[in-house]
Amino acid sequence: MTQGGKKKKRAVNRSIMLAKKIIIKDGGTPQGIGSPSVYHAVIVIFLEFFAWGLLTAPTLVVLHETFPKHTFLMNGLIQGVKGLLSFLSAPLIGALSDVWGRKSFLLLTVFFTCAPIPLMKISPWWYFAVISVSGVFAVTFSVVFAYVADITQEHERSMAYGLVSATFAASLVTSPAIGAYLGRVYGDSLVVVLATAIALLDICFILVAVPESLPEKMRPASWGAPISWEQADPFASLKKVGQDSIVLLICITVFLSYLPEAGQYSSFFLYLRQIMGFSSESVAAFIAVLGILSIIAQTIVLSLLMRSIGNKNTILLGLGFQILQLAWYGFGSEPWMMWAAGAVAAMSSITFPAVSALVSRTADADQQGVVQGMITGIRGLCNGLGPALYGFIFYIFHVELNELPMPETASGGSTDTQYHLQQNSIIPGPPFLFGACSVLLALLVALFIPEHTNLTVRAGSWKKHCGGHGHPHSPQAPGEAKEPLLQDTNV
């Protein structure tokens, strides 16, 4: 090798070493593939929720086998405890991730969220107990959104959040059907093993491939540095609800409309499986169809409605669809009614994006994080209260089964009518009818929300609280509070 070639090689080596020093100084880590990117976050989200989606059908069966007499009540309590713990812990974990970095908390949240999966076949009682307790760490979306905020500019962030949201939806559209098929052909044990393997793959991916996104200069010098407890207060956003009458109306509307929606998410697939006699494949197909229709409704249809009838009228229309959907679920006694109501449910999904858009358009630039944070806090509270409320109403009206459904026919229904819906009941699904009444109240409240106004809520030190869900040095751009932030639950 010539002298010039050796000098050139040494220069290249020095450049590489200098680049590594710069990366480490700026918060990078030698452990990871490439520089931090949105695609790292997307893969983490996809693998976690794909693993849980595979277990949709097995979970419904194990739930009824474990709690045969009070299936809906126990389901509501399990999901309610998990939701409340997530609501209480999300700001604290976000605040700690601002101090210690995102990668360690991505690893922590994914590990504990997926920890119950192998217990399904080992001990169902421990499986459901660990699911409840895992709510403390079931906030992967909060950490992922903070990861994305670290590595994107404000004008890029909404598109990046949309990519994460679409990945979440795609994982839940595809995985339940795959899990149901594998369970029918090879048995549920294989599905549990596969879900466990995918969860382990996600953990290994975080350990090996995900680089740290939080720059070193943004972190305190010591790991023992104190955090702001106001930032970790889950009720910080709720305390400001009554400071503006318009904000109060919006928050009441969100609470009354999302409370039944959160309860419905927690119990509806169990209701289809155990009461309406749907097969595992039918439940998976229902999830896929509803997911695809909801994506269409929240993109194409929502855009058309916002341009044609305005923001407020879109909210009112979405609430109207939700009332129709819940009433249909409440009085429906045949499987085809559930499918028809599912199409209406997809249209009702436009409500929350329309509410977020209304807040984004009417609030001042420095008020966006405050008001969006209030709405996020309300929805987090509903994620805990809704499932418990639905389970309690099911229990009061004795909507239970004493046995598992008989073998299913090709049409997806049960071969024995005693396992079909309680035909003598005037109201087959009481919680859904209660939900319809709650959304009707939300519709009446929403009528008083003005189309154009300026929201003025005192932000003060609350902006520190926003750091739990985003980077403290990256103010939240309008409309960035996305729905999946509070959907860290299993199907």
CA distance 174 to 93: 30
* Cα distances (Å, whole numbers) of residue 488 to 134, 174, 327: 11, 17, 27
In this structure, are 169 and 278 located in the same domain? no
In this structure, are 155 and 284 located in the same domain? no
Task: Give the three-class secondary structure for 415.
Answer: coil
pLDDT grade, residue 224 (50/70/90)?
low
Domain final residue, candidates 214, 248, 264: 214
Indicate if the pLDDT at residue 320 is higher than 60.
yes
The kind and range of the H/E element at 441 are helix 430-446
CATH number assigned to the domain comprising residue 98 = 1.20.1250.20
Contact of 203 with 103, CB cutoff 8 Å: no
pLDDT, tens only, 33-81: 778 888 888 899 999 999 998 998 888 888 888 888 888 888 888 988 8
Domain count, the chain: 2
> What pLDDT shows up at residue 324?
94
pLDDT grade, residue 143 (50/70/90)?
confident
Which range of 6-15, 254-263, 293-302, 350-359 scores highest in mean pLDDT? It is 254-263
In this structure, are 167 and 262 located in the same domain? no
Contact of 350 with 301, CB cutoff 8 Å: yes
What's the mean per-residue pLDDT of the chain? 76
Q: Is the pTM of this model over 0.85?
A: no
H helices of 349-414, in order, are 351-362, 368-396
Of 267, 295, 259, nearest in space to 441 by CA = 259
Q: Which residues contact 10 (CB under 8 A, 6 or more apart)?
A: none
- The count of C-alpha atoms lying within 13 angstroms of the C-alpha of 489, restricted to the half-sphere facing its C-beta, is 27
pLDDT, tens only, 333-375: 788 888 888 888 888 888 888 887 787 676 665 566 566 667 7
> What pLDDT shows up at residue 244?
76
Q: Is residue 135 part of a domain?
A: yes
Q: Tokens standing for 29?
A: 């880590």
> What pLDDT shows up at residue 296?
85
Q: Which residues contact 98 (CB under 8 A, 6 or more apart)?
A: 146, 214, 218, 219, 227, 231, 467, 468, 471, 472
Domain final residue, candidates 197, 214, 231: 214
Q: Is residue 131 part of a domain?
A: yes
**At CB < 8 A and 24+ separation, what contacts does 28-31 make?**
28/211, 28/212, 29/103, 29/211, 29/212, 31/207, 31/208, 31/211
pLDDT, tens only, 77-101: 898 888 888 888 877 887 787 777 7
pLDDT, tens only, 426-435: 667 788 999 9
Mean pLDDT is lowest, of 168-172, 285-289, 326-330, 432-436, for: 168-172
In this structure, are 200 and 337 located in the same domain? no
In this structure, are 310 and 347 located in the same domain? yes
CA distance 392 to 390: 5
Percent of the chain's residues with pLDDT above 70 = 72
The residue range of the domain holding 285 is 239-400+429-450
In this structure, are 48 and 174 located in the same domain? yes
Q: Is residue 234 part of a domain?
A: no
In this structure, are 444 and 298 located in the same domain? yes
Q: Which residues contact 286 (CB under 8 A, 6 or more apart)?
A: 269, 272, 278, 338, 339, 342
Q: Is residue 416 part of a domain?
A: no
In this structure, are 201 and 245 located in the same domain? no
In this structure, are 270 and 369 located in the same domain? yes
CA distance 443 to 253: 7
Contact of 435 with 268, CB cutoff 8 Å: no
CA distance 483 to 353: 8
In this structure, are 204 and 339 located in the same domain? no
In this structure, are 209 and 250 located in the same domain? no
Q: Is residue 421 part of a domain?
A: no
CA distance 179 to 159: 30
In this structure, are 317 and 376 located in the same domain? yes
- What DSSP assignment string belongs to 210-234? PPP-S-GGGS-SSTT----TTTT-T
Contact of 236 with 95, CB cutoff 8 Å: no
Contact of 242 with 435, CB cutoff 8 Å: no
Which of 321 and 95 is assigned the larger pLDDT? Answer: 321
- The count of C-alpha atoms lying within 13 angstroms of the C-alpha of 11, restricted to the half-sphere facing its C-beta, is 6
Q: Is residue 420 part of a domain?
A: no
> What pLDDT shows up at residue 454?
60
Q: Is residue 358 part of a domain?
A: yes
Q: Is residue 10 part of a domain?
A: no
- CA dihedral over 268, 274, 278, 280, signed as positive or negative: positive
Helices 245-274 and 71-100 cross at an angle (nearest 10°) of: 130
**Residues 128-148: what's their mean pLDDT?**
84
